[in-house]
Each structure stands twice: as structure tokens, then as C-alpha cells.
Chains A and B, each alone.
Chain A
């Protein structure tokens, strides 16, 4: 891509970004609708190109290399498309049953180990070690996992010991939620800071960034105050 086209793409990218940021203003406006439909059109186009390229590289090249069994992937794929046909929709049931069957096998054959057995095994540890802090960690984890599990029992009355463990579990869960909320915020902030960093590096981008921010803020307010925002935005 030549230099001018790349420059134009970067500046367009900056401006369309702040058009989408007008979502934060909370009222409909045409800038936001333009950004939304731009992404819907271009994004779907990219997934079509990548999806069909994957089919070509895997199935077609595979058959050319002698893997003739892969002809079934093309056959099943075409049958899957009947899913939206008003009369012959039932044709898609065969490939659906096949893909859901293999999908179930793939997830169930390993999920029992990674998400169930390994997690239980990792909780069953010697509590006392010669490091006091490690003892505190291990007791906290063991008590938290057990009590929070009792909080999510539905088909039995939580009375007696179960009542107290589920109450303790609920409080410990909210401590966990507080820590997790903060970690999640760090991640989201990292996304925003990372993107703003790319809009101010190299520094020639900074004036375009500040100008786009100002233009879009003013436009959002004007579209709202004049009532044009509702009229000119998408249905």
C-alpha cells in the first residue's frame, strides 16, 4: 500500500473511532450509525474471505493431496446451508447431528480432566508447610472453594451446617468478586490505554486524534440538541 493510502487509512481510522465513541453520549446520531454499519459491512466481508479461505486450504488442498475422505466436509457443509430453507430445512439435521456429536466428544473427553478433576486435585494439598503465609493461602482456598460450592446448591434446603457454610460462601464470593472486578477493570483499561497509545504514536497522529475527538463531541451535542440525531440515524 503506498504511503498516501496508508496515511489516509490511519486518519480515517482515527476519525471513525471517535464516531463510534459518541456511543458514550447515549443518544442516537448519524456518525455513530455510520461507524456501526461500516463495521457490520467490512467485518462480515472479512469473515467471509477468511472463512472460505480456510475451507479451501483445509478441504480442497487436502483432497488434492489425496485425502478424499474430506469430500464429506464439502457435502456436509452444503447440506448445512439448508438450515434457513423454509421447506427443506430438515436436510441440515444430518450435518448438525454430526458436528454437535463430534463437538460434544471433543469437549467432554477433556473437560472432565481440566475443569473438574485437575481443579479438585489442586485443592487437595497439605495445608501446613514451613512457610506460614502459604498455610494461610491454602486454608483460605480450601475453605472458599467448599463454602462457595454449598452456596450454589438448589435442590435441597440449606439448613443446619449447610445454612452457615452457604452464608459464609456468599460473603467470601463477594470478596472474590471485588478482586475480580478490579482485575477485569485493569484489562479493559489496558485495552483503552493501548489503543490511545497507538493513536498518539508516532506523534504526528496526535493533532488528528485531538481534532477528531473535539469534532465528534461537538457533533454529538449538536445532533442531540437539534433533534436531528434521531432523524438521521439508522432505524
Chain B
């Protein structure tokens, strides 16, 4: 009796750590030996690129990095591909952080963009200014949106921002566009206190978990375009013809999804083969 149900019981009650081992293997494998399988391009990403194409040389974009260093791991393809477009177009950037880990991002990001910044002579102070961690809470976002220079006097190295292209910015409405990269953090507050107040167009590169929420904002006209997670970034790399970490990760992305699908199938076989007959209960909150 003990082993009754045999293979079906094992399929229904296997040690979940095998799921973890499988995920490590299917992700690390293709990263170490890339295969380069094809990918489809979504309409959402095409619209995001079209929105960026409306920018002109000299436009000042508010590039808001509302991400921890860990969130950057997911948004890296979208961040790098979008900033390559900004550099090629000669757009000026005001870069702000929404998390204290943001201070670790500029060295990492501009190291990956070095070829572009050298080719286009794109320099800090002239073409981009990093004002640092300025969004600790909602009050700080609202204050900065209303009176920029009363709340931002120095950049992230403590040097004055007077006499730079930021002199043209008095409030949130003076930016040509807000380009947000977000794991959540201050994005909702930027929509509330800049977009709603000044109608500044805002494009968002969001982690997967926040996509449903931003779809509602996109449909309500609060944001103008949405780039979804690693996959959106990989599609943008493809559209601008500059393969990077996104396209390299797509094989692992495919296998990661397929491994979950396989485990779901195994679980359902085990459920119908053993759980239903044994009267055991699946431990889940779904009614």
C-alpha cells in the first residue's frame, strides 16, 4: 500500500527543490553556450520605439531610475537600448534615482555604453547630469516637481548645477519627456505630481510584475508607452540593431518558461493520477 500510486504519486508530491535545480540548469546552460533562437516582436515595443523617435536633438529628458540594483538586472536591456537611442539623437539627460542603491548604477551603465559615449562625445555635465537620490518619498517628488532648483542645487558629486542645461528646467513641465525605469518606487508619485500636473509625456520600462498596473495607466492615458521587462528590452535591441544582454538572455528566457510549463503538466498528471483518488489536498489558496 505504501507505494500505491507509484509514478503518479511521485509526480504529484515530488520535492520542489528539483524545480529549483532544473531552473538553474535551463538558465545557466544557454547563457554559457548561447543558441540564438528567433524571437517575435510585440506591437507594444514597436510603439515604445516610435514614441522615442519623436525626440529631437537638444530635448531635455528626465531619466528616472526607480530601480534597485536588483531591478536593474531585469531592466538592463531596456535601459541600455533606450539610452543608446538618446545618445545617438543628442538628447540631454537629467538622471535621478528612486532608491539608495541607484548610486551603484551609473558606473555600471556608462561602462556598458562607453562605445556610444566615446563615438558621440557624450559627456557628463555637457550632455547628461546625474542629480542622484532625490526621491526618498512622495513629498520630495511633489516638491521637486513644483520648484526644481529650490530642491536640487547640486549633482550626485556635490557640484553645483547652476550654469548647466538644467537652468532651463523650472518645474516638471519643462522636460520634453520622462523616461522611467521602474520596479515601483516613485513612479506612481511622478505620474501624480508631474504627468497629471503638467501633461509631460512619460514612457515606462517596467519589471514584469508591474506591467498589469501600468497597462491600466497606459489605457487611461497617464503614460504614453510601455516596455515590458527583459523581453521588451531584447525586442528593442533587435529593432535598433544593437544586440546586447537582452537578446543573449532570450534562450534562457524561453527555457525558463518551458521548464515551468513542463512542471505544471507533470503536476496535473500527478493530480489526476493520484491526488484526486487519494483524497489528499493540494496546498494552495485557489478555491
Residues of A within 8 A of B (CB): 24-26, 46-47, 50-51, 53-54, 57-58, 61-62, 65, 67, 99, 102-103, 106-107, 110-111, 113-114, 118-119, 121-122, 174, 179-180, 183-198, 200-201, 206, 209-210, 213
Contact = CB atoms under 8 A, between A and B. Distances in A.
Choose among A188, A209, A210 the residue with the greatest number of B CB atoms under 10 Å from its CB.
A188
Given A196-B28, A198-B245, 20 more contacts: A24-B20, A51-B100, A54-B133, A57-B132, A58-B140, A58-B151, A67-B150, A99-B139, A103-B139, A110-B192, A114-B191, A118-B222, A186-B257, A187-B208, A190-B249, A191-B70, A192-B23, A194-B76, A197-B252, A198-B76
Choose among A179, A185, A197, A198 the residue with the greatest number of B CB atoms under 10 Å from its CB.
A197
B164 to A, nearest CB: 16
Interface residues of B, number: 63
B229 A190 contact: yes
B100 A190 contact: no
11 contacts: A57-B132, A67-B150, A111-B192, A190-B230, A190-B253, A192-B256, A195-B73, A197-B76, A200-B32, A201-B245, A209-B28
B6 interface: no
Contact of A194 (B23, B73, B133): B73
A57 B23 CA distance: 45
Contacts of B9: none
A185 B260 contact: yes
Nearest to A49: B100
Interface in B39-97: 70-77
Contacts of B20: 24
Nearest to B212: A180
Contacts of B188: 114
A189 B256 contact: yes
Contacts of A184: 208-209
Nearest to A200: B31
A119 B215 CA distance: 11
